[in-house]
Chains A and B, each alone.
Chain A
């Protein structure tokens, strides 16, 4: 991956509306626990997809499969048309060759991920956190990486804290830096796993605003969240998962305001 932030923007991306993420028949087991039981999900380029579901329904697991932090036992995931984790075609004996660590790393570099617990690198300042991947993965010259990182910190409203270590930042500030860090590799897809769940209530808004801003800029996003207001405002598609299957999917107005399954109705009541 020697593609840099500025060169890929808008050039290599599939056209708007073509599928960015295609998940078909995905099954995931942890030992004998069957967690994902045949997930089908498509996210178009430029679309914001919000994943809802009770705790333990497999939302995080699904996101982690997309970014290959977990392996899966059946099905297929494609990001930007490219098959994730395995070679495109099966071997003559029917088996699928796994990609090498290097190839997997290259695929991951095209997908940004934001975690519930921020996971900023504590031994680096905010700026260094954002510059890390472009310099060491993207091989971008330091000066250029610094300029781009400063720009991204500006965008998430953290430019004045660039030289602070994560331990000197509030949760909301850390999460905004984490978003800038994920954006630094200029991903074609962003994954958010409950980005505001670990925050004090008064800090949720500042992080959601940054994510909304990203959504409006046309970034393709898969967001796990319990923030229904956010889903209503920015989601193109809302997917409700329970017990490892997709129960309902559709436009937010339809899914959130007119749930057709009792499971979803119960869940919405409990979240509100």
Chain B
């Protein structure tokens, strides 16, 4: 932990650092290579930067961004809910619950997303009518599948089911990372299992779950570019591709897509950072918050002994 203000120590050492010529040379080489790449990017006429600039703000492109974000959000919400259920079922004592959870993860993790998306696009062909009733018994309500599950819904279901299988393992390991003594202490206070899960276990598991969940969200944002398999045609990838085919300019529109995907992932990464900080509260072994609080305690001068000495690492 760095101290901001320095104590007044006499004869403080003024060190001359060791010179590393290798590092300097490597830095120069890397800088030159980077400059060359940038030059090639900007000066190459084939990139057609004026088209890039024109279509960056195209209505179809902006709408594509909206759909991509919406698909990402809905698929992650569906995936997280499914994963939480599967993770809890996985630890259940009932073999039926455990078996179903295992089978779900096995199937949806083992088949490529692209294949699954095609399947969800065709589900109306497979099951023209969906009904609610008793298996092998009477049906109570019937729905026309193609009306119930449109392309957008098929895309969300396909992405969400696939994501749920990955998140289930992440959430399970997160729940398992919480010390067993936590649940016992909560039980001893008279808390019921559902309350313990909600108030004690999940908030602590989040600290472990959030980093991979963030990575999965960023992954999902990029995976939405596969929804043409359904086919769903309004996302960013499809929108830019459609424009490219119309005006015979594939490369500038690839750049438009790449630019916007980068912007979106950057925003998500910032959000992930703040979530990690929130769920990391109370676990401040590193990070500035704790040192600030400690500094405040010291500065207040209300404690006779240095509290830092009391803090267990």
Q: Does A27 lie at the interface of the complex (its beta carbon under 8 Å from any beta carbon of B)?
A: no
- B311 an interface residue at 8 Å Cβ cutoff? yes
Which of chain A's residues has its CB closest to B185's CB? A119
Asked if B182 contacts A137 (CB within 8 A), the reply is no
Contact stretch, chosen from B87-95, B187-195, B268-276? B187-195
Complex: A67 Cα to B193 Cα, angstroms? 15
| Among A34-42, A162-170, A209-217, A239-247, the stretch in contact with B | A162-170
Chain B: interface residue total (CB-CB under 8 A) = 32
Which A-chain residue is minimally distant from B193 (CB atoms)?
A101
Within 8 A of A (CB), among B279-312: 279, 281-285, 290, 293-294, 302, 310-312
Are A168 and B311 also in contact (CB < 8 A) when A108-B188, A119-B181, A132-B199 are? yes
With A69-B184, A171-B312 in contact, is A166–B282 under 8 Å at CB?
A: yes
Asked whether B282 lies within 8 Å of A123 as measured between CB atoms, the reply is yes
Which residue of A has the minimal Cβ distance to B278?
A123
Across the interface, which residues of A come within 8 angstroms of B199, CB to CB? Answer: 132, 136
Residues of A near B214 (CB, < 8 A) are none
**Residue B203 CB within 8 A of the other chain:** yes
Check A140 for interface membership: any CB of B closer than 8 A.
no
CB of A162 to closest CB in B, whole Å:
13
Binds B, one of A49-57, A109-117, A224-232: A109-117
B181 touches A122 (CB 8 A): no
B-contact bits for A118-142, CB 8 A (1 contact / 0 none): 0111111100000011001100000
Residue B240 at the A interface, CB < 8 A? Answer: no
Within 8 Å by CB of A181, from B181, B189, B195, B285, lies: B189
B204 within 8 A of A: yes
- Is residue B200 within 8 Å, beta carbon to beta carbon, of the partner chain? yes
Within 8 A of B (CB), among A134-182: 136-137, 160, 165-171, 173, 178, 181-182
Bound CA span A1–B200, Å: 20
The reply to whether B184 and A167 form a contact with Cβ atoms under 8 Å apart is no
Indicate whether A258 reaches chain B with its CB closer than 8 angstroms.
no
Total interface residues on A, using CB and 8 Å?
39
Q: Which of A1, A69, A124 interacts with B282 by CB under 8 Å?
A: A124
Q: Check A182–B284 contact: CB distance below 8 A.
A: no
CB distance from B255 to the nearest CB of A (A): 44
Q: Does A102 sit at the interface, judged by CB under 8 A?
A: yes
Given A167-B284, A170-B312: A115 in contact with B189 (beta carbons within 8 A): no
B281 touches A105 (CB 8 A): no
Known: A132-B199, A167-B285, A170-B310. A113 touches B191 (CB 8 A): no
Asked if residues B193 and A123 are in contact (CB atoms below 8 Å), the reply is no
Residues of B near A165 (CB, < 8 A) are 281-282, 284
What residues of B have a CB within 8 angstroms of the CB of A112 in the complex?
Answer: 188
Q: Chain B's nearest CB lies how many Å from the CB of A69?
A: 6
Residues of B within 8 A of A108 (CB): 187-190
A81 to B246, CA, bound (A): 83
Q: Once the chains bind, are A105 and B282 in contact (CB under 8 Å)?
A: no
Q: Which listed residue, A69, A101, A122, A160, touches B188 by the CB 8 Å rule? A: A69
Q: Is the Cβ of B192 less than 8 Å from the Cβ of A102?
A: yes
Q: In the complex, are the beta carbons of A170 and B189 less than 8 A apart?
A: no
A106 at the B interface (CB under 8 A)? yes
- Which of B191, B200, B203, B310 lies in contact with A105, CB distance below 8 A? B191
Q: Which of A1, A120, A121, A182 has the most CB of B within 10 A?
A: A121
Out of A101, A119, A166, A168, name the residue touching B184 (CB < 8 Å).
Answer: A119
* A198 CB to nearest chain B CB (Å): 10
- Residues 146-197 of B at the A interface (beta carbon under 8 Å): 179, 181-182, 184-193, 195
Q: Is the CB of A182 within 8 A of B192?
A: no
What's the nearest-Cβ distance from chain A to residue B289, in Å? 10
A133:B190 contact, CB within 8 angstroms: yes
Closest chain B CB from A207 CB (angstroms): 14
Interface pair A111/B200, CB less than 8 Å apart = no
Q: Which residues on the A side are within 8 Å of B181 (C-beta)?
A: 115, 117, 119
9 A-B pairs with C-beta separation under 8 A:
A69-B187, A106-B190, A110-B190, A115-B185, A119-B182, A121-B182, A123-B203, A133-B189, A173-B310
Besides the contacts A123-B204, A169-B310, A181-B189, what 7 more A-B pairs have beta carbons closer than 8 Å?
A109-B189, A112-B188, A113-B185, A119-B182, A121-B182, A170-B312, A182-B188
Nearest first, the 5 A-B pairs at minimum CB distance are: A109-B190, A119-B185, A165-B282, A133-B189, A113-B188
Task: Name B's A-contacting residues (CB within 8 A).
Answer: 179, 181-182, 184-193, 195, 199-200, 203-204, 207, 279, 281-285, 290, 293-294, 302, 310-312
Mark A residues whose CB is within 8 Å of B. 1, 67, 69, 101-102, 105-106, 108-113, 115, 117, 119-125, 132-133, 136-137, 160, 165-171, 173, 178, 181-182, 185
